[in-house]
Amino acid sequence: MSAGLELRRLSVGYPRRPVFEGLDLECVAPGALVALVGPNAVGKSTLLKAIAGLRPARGQVLLDGTDLATLPPRARLRRVGYLPQALPQATSLVAYEAMLSALRASRPELGREPAEAAIAGVFAALELDALALRPLAELSGGQRQMVGLAQVLVRAPRLMLLDEPTSALDLRWQLRVLHAVRALVAEGRTLAVIALHDLNLALRFCDHIVVLGQGHPHNRLLAAGRPAEVLTPPLLQAAYGVRARVERCSLGHPLVLADEASSPTHDVP
């Protein structure tokens, strides 16, 4: 049995619109932060939903060798945390209550003290203490996105699926979120897959990258591997249809610079 996440022959889509057919993804071990990137409408959200069990799919999603489809709903919820692209609803619940209800849904056995400690830990890691007693309806979009992420982190799932968790966040909060997720993942108990549009965040924070490209549903996986090795100008051309450079910044880290929109080649470099 291999620890980590593996996809075997996964097919998922919508009526008359297959998105992936027979997608295989080699096992990614726990302790990895995985970026899922690719152009708009390529299928990032659809794939995350299929892994989360929120879209009917054929094939297998294996987590630590177990086919997630064989698990009862609560066991699956316990192991897999999913943050949708849409912001959490603007309800009258205060942020603390929203966290507690997320925790109770997946880990009802947890006593009051450990639950409070878990919530306090996540609020501290994300620097959200000031929001704890504020109703979600009164929070800004970015603040609500942070609370949504906190609801996933507090459950400490084995697999976290985060759909563009930084889309509503300013620069400082983007870094805060990626540092917090990185720190959790580095403890080795969890694996996170993050759909991202910012390739430079992927280069900086992620251990592994999965690049999707528009094309036939049988052939949407363009490349996977270490971000600095995978993200090359030919791959960026094939995936996004842009002329781009990958250069080193003054600290020596690789940076993607997109120069010009051209046409996607759909070729796998």
What residue ranges bind ligand ATP (CB under 6 A)? 14, 17, 19, 38, 40-46
Closer CB to ligand ATP, 52 or 94, in the complex: 52
| Residue whose CB is less far from ligand ATP, 4 or 213 | 213
Instruction: Name the one residue in this structure whose structure tokens are 């880990």.
Output: 107
Sorted by sequence, the CB contacts under 8 Å of residue 197 that are 6+ apart come out as 37, 164, 167
Residue 63 in tokens: 């987590």
What 3-state DSSP class applies to 122? helix
Helix 171-186, helix 141-154: angle, nearest 10: 0
- Judged by beta carbon, residue 41 or residue 90, the one nearer ligand ATP is 41
Q: Which is nearer to ligand ATP, 131 or 206 (CB)?
A: 206
- Give 108: exposed, middle or buried? Use CB within 10 Å, 0-12, 13-18, 19+: exposed
Q: Dihedral sign, CA of 121, 123, 125, 129?
A: negative
Cα angle for residues 15, 219, 216 (degrees, 5° grid): 45
Rounded least distance, CB 226 to ligand ATP, Å: 22
Beta bridge partners of 58: 11
Report strand pairing: 33-37 vs 242-248: unpaired
What minimum distance in Å lies between the beta carbon of 59 and ligand ATP? 17
Q: Specify the residue, 30 or 165, whose C-beta has the smaller distance to ligand ATP.
A: 165
Minimum gap (Å) between residue 106 Cβ and ligand ATP:
24
Residue 161 Cβ vs ligand ATP, minimum distance, rounded to whole Å: 12
CB of 164 to ligand ATP, least distance (A): 7
Comparing CB distances to ligand ATP, the nearer of 20 and 123 is: 20
Helix segments in the chain, DSSP class H: 44-52, 73-79, 95-106, 112-125, 141-154, 171-186, 199-205, 227-230, 233-240
Residue 38 CB, shortest distance to ligand ATP, in Å, is 6
